[in-house]
Structure 1
């Protein structure tokens, strides 16, 4: 009997201990709703392909049992599954461990942060906190508690379509061309000498005039006669002498043009003349090129004095050097210079287009690259660039431009092969670096793309645009706004939406002339963020009319959560 009482007492004590243990957990489970949660942001958002969350948890006083360990796990639930954030373990004051301690008497405020990779299925989701409490060997699962909705994924609307840069041609349809000849005079003379008429310079000029007359691709633009006197002698005499030389030289060249049957071009509108009484500029140029002793001293005189008479006096004072100047320099300045100007007329667009399709071997590289701009389809352009690659295999532009067309055709691997070849032919070329960066970006290699775009700095606005895409993908929205600058593309507007500049975003979208569906979709997003339902419905309706796939996007877009149940919204997205 005594033994039976002892056993019963032991069983009773054990039962009390078990019940006490369970009571502590059950009480916490029952009162779990007293825990307060503040989630930032209130609706979860996706940035840089991650969903970040910050939860401020207020555990009330006299709630957390001193012997309990609590493991809390935020979980994002969505239609096709769920994804858990990292867990947080809390413990009571009497628990031996290294977890966050929650005092029983005062409670505790805890700040939790975590992140998970974003998935498109998360666009409509619930964030709930799941807790498992344990006391000794006993454990209980608490009821899941919803703390937030998810996920606003507006940043993922960035269009990953980086811009390529073409290797520009240097084609000029009209190329200015000129031919010069000097006619020299004796000192203080304006008479054209027979020996000068037969000189090499003048003979070459006559031949050039004859050739220009016969060449149908050359258009004569005029002749300039510049007459000079050397800077020695009196200023007033040199003025008269230079004027006489202009008269005799002009008379001579007009006579030669008549012989070449170009007398119609001797009219005033084709004929210009200029007189330089003292050719100090020519003197300085010849002095720099000479080997005359003390030339540096003479050049110093020119830099020190601007008055012609003072210059001449000081140079004459350098007696030894002046003797050489009289022999080697001054005679070359007593002259008239003829400059015949001609325009070389290139092939017409029609001729280029015909040749590039029928006989491209007749075209030089600049003509060939320009001709690619005259054909319309991507296939035709690619064919021209393939020809350029064959005919001018050392020119990087054929490969670069072929790669650009292939990139636009979504043949990214083939485009990269061409860009790589262009890079080999022209290393460190910023145009090629930009295009290689575009390949990396569409392949998802954001960091590699950013490095290549950095190496392309200065190549054009395309680089800044591409860096804007990179910045959006890295959630660096202020940087993105700066990179996009005045651009009115949808991505530029998106960047402004993401930094809260809704008026700027709307201005860019209104200025966009592309008429793409995403332009109207983003206008609807601006409407949602500014509580303008008319802007939402009007533009959303246009967007889905242009791209029906946006119906599904809008239906799960938490930007429009406030109007999910609106009949107008449902009519648009169903």
Structure 2
């Protein structure tokens, strides 16, 4: 509790008039009032500066005919903001204000909530009092006249603003793979019921391309050639047992033919027989313009037994001739398959290329390069290169993230807008919401983020709750440093300290200093401030205007920082 004397910032007492003046004696004894602010330091909660004021009037003080109008005013360099006034009256006043009895005195409370102005971190909350008389006085006495200006609190605690609103910006991931696999295949075709490879088959363009592929990658830097497969198939138009044996012979003859054509090439060969190719049959029929193809596909779906399938299709005399001419010959084959694993650039090579000649990198390599460094400039370069060369939505989005974290919000908005025009990905929507929050537009942030259901969006809803002053709700989805901020605002200092135990960034050290001050440990506060400023010199300017450190403002240790 603090007793305020007649200390008036914008004026002292007004010139008291003679004659009828119901508040003359009240003004003379204004130092008898006891005023308490809870909390004693103004607090930013949501978008408003808040505190609760309690004013105690002593016995035989409040004139029965007097009315006081008490307006809270936040006064700071460059301006002031007035809050909602409170009216108090004496016992003989016929209005419906709070009544203060003359004989016993009394108390009134006032919940102060004034819109926050960022210039008001260093400020004074004044109660500007006006008074009037309601009976037996001239007209002038019945109008409110300046009475007193009483300072009740100084400075605004803005711990809420210490939250890292950029913490849950969403990076769209790269799909970089160190090893990629490429494939080549070709078909060696056979006549019905035959397994010998005709000479003309090996001169076909697709087979020649297959041979060239195997030769090229059998001894190429960073390439590993897998087995060369010969997969034999038969058309499903004969006995199953015969076709099983036929497909095996075809795989063997196909392997022998291709290994002879690739004589001298260091390759490993493998064969596999697949019997009747019903899957291939179904694919070819589905892709054809055969009149009754839907009926054929229905027969396949209804019968699992290959013998039964064969019988049913042969019974469809109207289409079997077309099948025998157009579909079945394409299934009599050995399928040649070769896979090659290509090993890409190492991390060191990607970083070097990103620095020297980034345009030669693929989109995925550019996006991946940004994950290999903590250098924000190189990250931005990589993402912007991906956006420029490949019109990459991920490049635009991720460049926006880097810019937003650097505080370049207008540039970040341009990048996010380009990404949003290309995709409705939740990461982009999340980031537009975060950007709105960083700009102080909580309503827009909520509009973007509340419709999402991602891990990042849930955490960002916690930050929105924090910005709205709903600290209890904020603790449900926040974690780490931001949760510690919420717990400080909830008064849970011990929990906040435990959450910060493993945090070593500048902002965490700064919050530790705030906690130390609230616990009365000024030496720990100085130590943590020193660490915070060493890591982030810009915090000097923040600290000298932070009312949390008001008790240190005149100390040598604080000034030395």
TM normalised by structure 1 equals 0.71
Structure 1 residues 417 and 511: CA distance shift in structure 2, 3 A: closer
> How far, CA to CA, are the matches of 1:371 and 1:229 in structure 2?
49
> Match of 2:8?
none
Separation in 2 of the partners of 1:284 and 1:385? 45
Q: Does 1:189 align with 2:189?
A: no
User: Does the CA-based 8 Å contact 2:87-2:98 persist in structure 1?
Assistant: no
Is 1:304 the counterpart of 2:287 in the alignment? no
> Which whole-Å CA distance do the structure 1 matches of 2:166 and 2:354 have between them?
30
Q: Contact 1:431/1:456 (CA < 8 Å) preserved in 2?
A: no
Secondary structure of 1:74's partner?
A: strand
491-500 vs 284-293, greater mean Cα deviation: 491-500
How does 1:421-460 map onto structure 2 within 5 Å?
A: 422=418, 426=422, 444-447=439-442, 450=445, 454=449
Runs of at least 5 residues in structure 2 that lack an aligned partner in the other structure: 1-17
Deviation, 1:205, is: 1.6
Matched, 1:152 2:157: yes
Q: Report the alpha carbon displacement of residue 340 of structure 1 after superposing the two structures with TM.
A: 1.0
Q: 1:265 is matched with which residue?
A: 267
Matched, 1:516 2:505: yes
CA shift at 1:272, angstroms? Answer: 3.7
In 2, the alpha carbon distance for the partners of 1:421 and 1:397 equals 12
> How do 1:144-543 and structure 2 match up within 5 A?
151-159=156-164, 172-213=177-218, 216=221, 218-258=223-263, 261-262=264-265, 264-266=266-268, 271-347=269-345, 392=389, 415=411, 419=415, 422=418, 426=422, 444-447=439-442, 450=445, 454=449, 461=456, 469=463, 471-477=465-471, 480-481=474-475, 484-485=478-479, 488=480, 490-499=481-490, 505-512=496-503, 515-526=504-515, 539=528, 542-543=531-532
Corresponding position of 2:5: none
Rounded Cα–Cα distance in structure 2 between residues aligned with 1:241 and 1:438: 65
The answer (yes or no) to whether the contact 2:413–2:432 under 8 Å persists in 1 is no
Residue deviations 1:46-99, cap 9 Å, x none?
A: 123421244577889997655332222335578999765332234457657x76
CA contact (8 A) 1:416 1:436 kept: no
1:89 counterpart SS class: strand
Larger Rg over CA atoms:
1
Instruction: Assess if the C-alpha contact under 8 Å between 1:453 and 1:466 holds in 2.
Output: no
Q: Distance in 1 between matches of 2:261 and 2:126?
A: 98
Secondary structure of residue in 2 paired with 1:277: strand
Query: Which structure 1 residue ranges, 5 or more long, are not aligned?
Result: 1-17
Please report how far the alpha carbon of residue 454 of structure 1 lies from its aligned counterpart in structure 2 after TM superposition: 4.2
Q: CA offsets, 1:89-119, max 9 Å, x none?
A: 34457657x7637486999986644422446
- Find the residue that maps to 2:510 and give its secondary structure: helix
Shift of 1:333: 2.0
Deviation of 1:291 (Å): 2.2
Higher fraction of helix: 1
Contact 2:413 2:435 in 1 (8 A): no
CA spacing shift, 1:364–1:125, aligned 2, 3 Å? closer
Q: Matches of 2:40 and 2:446 in 1, distance apart?
A: 35
State whether residues 124 and 155 of structure 2, in contact with CA within 8 Å, keep that contact through their aligned partners in structure 1: yes
Deviations 1:133-182 (A, max 9, x none): 32234488767777667643321323465676667666555431111111
Following the alignment from structure 1 to structure 2, what is the Cα–Cα distance between the partners of residues 510 and 353? 34
Distance in 2, matches of 1:517 and 1:532, equals 19
Q: Deviations over 1:3-40 (max 9, x none)?
A: xxxxxxxxxxxxxxx87x54x53566688799887765
Instruction: Pick closer, same or farther for the CA change 1:207–1:39 going to 2, 3 Å.
Output: same
TM-score normalised by L of structure 2:
0.72
Q: CA deviation at 1:435?
A: 6.4
> Would the aligned equivalents of 1:472 and 1:495 in 2 still touch at CA under 8 Å?
yes
- Aligned partner of 1:10 in structure 2 is none
Cα distance, 1:220 vs. partner? 1.8
Q: Note the 1:127-146 alignment, pairs <5 A.
A: 129-135=127-133, 136-137=137-138, 138=141
